[in-house]
Amino acid sequence: MYPYMQNQADYYLQQAAKYDLLAMYYKYSDPNRHIYYYKCHLQAMNQALTCMQTQHGYRAEGAGNPNAKVRILHTSPNAPAVDIYVNGGRVVQNVAFKQVSRYLDVPGGSHTLEIYPTGQKNNPVLRESITLMPGVYYTAAATGPLNELELLALVDKPFVEYGQAKVRFVHLSPDVKAVDVATKRGNVLFSGVSFGEASTYQNVTPGKVDLQVLVTGTSDVALSVPTANIRPNTAYTVYALGLATGTPALEALVLQDS
């Protein structure tokens, strides 16, 4: 009934074994690599257990992390500051445009998420069901104009190869057409990303990175991203927020995905 989950579990178990061997190999010669690969081993084991739990409908005592990690990002350009409720309980208070919460521990499974203007509890501006997998990181972005507010649930992938970094781009500006994202030297990282879409992650060399957002297929710059200091062993997401014509103005928000 769940062959995909079994295949995924086998894959993660193989990855966990690989990372365990690497962690042991570097245990005494390179403590930083040892710690890094040990964390990767734990992450892979947790994901394997999640797949087996989904397939067989059980939870081994003490196995894995029963919680997902979820942060809330406010990207609606004309929505007021908001309070966030999960299953009727308030989890985040007074989140304004372009603000993001810390990662919250939320049990795996299906939940009802409601968004209210701060201090109110009548007529939510958004009510959505969201299904979370244990051990997985998410960013839940409230996006679009207030009268068309939607919830975009993104899976964050914080682990990268040792010494490397990775970046993705999420287009959340409702009045900007599809865009490409490139370095200022002209190297295109992502192409044809439309409103409400997220690119895949792209490996980048750690260090200072200058990006610009171009109207797809042209050299017209829609947005220049402030120079970002990309650290090794870290994943980032660049969000395009705001409006090209109006306020708040179009801008980039760079967040670390962990």
DSSP 200-231: PPEEE-SEEEEEEEEETTS--EEEEEEEEEEP
Q: What is the pLDDT of residue 57?
A: 47
90 sits in the region (left: phi over 0; alpha: psi -120 to 50; else beta) called beta
Q: What is the pLDDT of residue 52?
A: 65
Q: Which residues pair with 251 in a beta bridge?
A: 241
- pTM of structure: 0.77
10-residue mean pLDDT profile of the chain (258 residues): values are: 53 82 86 83 76 52 65 96 96 96 90 95 92 86 93 88 91 95 90 95 91 92 91 94 94 92
Is residue 61 in some structural domain?
no
Q: Based on the domain organization, do 163 and 149 belong to the same domain?
A: no
Residue 226 structural domain:
159-256
> End of a domain among 155, 179, 197?
155
Is residue 240 in some structural domain?
yes
Cα–Cα dist 245/251, whole Å? 12
Q: What is the pLDDT of residue 65?
A: 56
Is residue 89 in some structural domain?
yes
Q: What is the pLDDT of residue 2?
A: 37
Verify cis geometry, omega within 30 degrees of 0, for the bond prior to 134: no
Is residue 83 in some structural domain?
yes
Q: Which residues pair with 152 in a beta bridge?
A: 141
Q: Based on the domain organization, do 20 and 97 belong to the same domain?
A: no
Q: Based on the domain organization, do 150 and 215 belong to the same domain?
A: no
Q: What is the pLDDT of residue 88?
A: 94
Q: Based on the domain organization, do 40 and 72 belong to the same domain?
A: no
Give the chain's domain count. 3
> What ranges make up the beta strands (E) of 65-206?
67-74, 82-86, 89-95, 104-107, 109-117, 126-132, 137-143, 150-156, 165-171, 179-183, 188-193, 202-204
Is residue 62 in some structural domain?
no
Contact 123, 140 (CB under 8 A): no
Q: Based on the domain organization, do 88 and 134 belong to the same domain?
A: yes
Contact 47, 135 (CB under 8 A): yes
Q: What is the pLDDT of residue 202?
A: 92
Task: Find the DSSP H helices in the chain.
Answer: 3-25, 31-56
